[in-house]
Amino acid sequence: MRILPTAWKTCGSCILLLLLSPVAAVQAFDGDRQGFALGFGAGVSPLARLRGTDAGAELTENAIGWGGSFAVGWGFTANDLIMFGNNLAGFSSSLYGDSSLQTFTGISWQHYFGPPGRAFYLTAGYGTYAYDWHGSRHYICWGDDCNPPPRLPRGGTIGALIGGGYEFARHLQVGAYVARSFPENDADFSFVHANILLQYTWY
């Protein structure tokens, strides 16, 4: 499944919202969480896990890589924001190639427990989850029988995100997030990734 085109489409849609919203031009970036918000994050992914089965054999991968996020949304109270965006983990996969991504894309609610600049927060999201890889897939061997890993289904599955952290300065926060897929049945591949991110959110 192709994550990079999906991510670019998401970013393009968010940028279009920024350019076309007249209300955003008035209320954005005034230091108050109410109104338009735009955020980016970068950090590490201590876990990017894949689990599935192929011909009765269980496939498991636990990788470490980099993490990132992008979100655009609206603060409808001083402490509550609705955001749409991506939370992703990039890593080198031992099963599916040298460059792989796990990506959650969806809508999330974020609640702050204090004023801007010094506040803990929690977030929860719902959307889609997808996996993408680049380059040649590595072969998996059982004894003398070597085969490439099975191709993952095209398109995304249902996904969810939970997380939280601390806003230690106005617009700056550090957070930890866990996102996972919900396969349609037990035979499908399932994915989960965790991110620790430093984020900047304009509001």
CATH number of the CATH domain containing 116: 2.40.160.20
> Which tens digit of pLDDT belongs to each residue from 15-28?
544 444 444 444 45
When mean pLDDT is compared across 55-69, 111-125, 151-165, the lowest value belongs to: 151-165
pLDDT at residue 157, as a whole number: 84
When mean pLDDT is compared across 112-126, 154-168, 188-202, the lowest value belongs to: 154-168
CA-to-CA separations, 6 to 18, 41, 90, in angstroms, rounded: 19, 18, 15
pLDDT at residue 22, as a whole number: 47
> Which tens digit of pLDDT belongs to each residue from 80-118?
999 999 999 999 887 766 788 899 999 999 999 999 989
pLDDT band for position 189 (50/70/90)? confident
What range does the domain containing 89 cover? 3-202
Mean pLDDT, the chain, whole residue set: 81
What does 104-169 look like in DSSP terms, one character per residue? EEEEEEEEESSSTTSEEEEEEEEEEEEEEEESPPPPEEETTEEEPPPPPPSS-EEEEEEEEEEEEE
CA distance 200 to 180: 24
User: Is 145's pLDDT higher than 80?
Assistant: no
Strands 145-147, 157-169: pairing kind: unpaired
User: What is the count of structural domains for the chain?
Assistant: 1
Looking at residue 24, its amino acid is: A
- In this prediction, what percent of the chain has a pLDDT beyond 90? 52
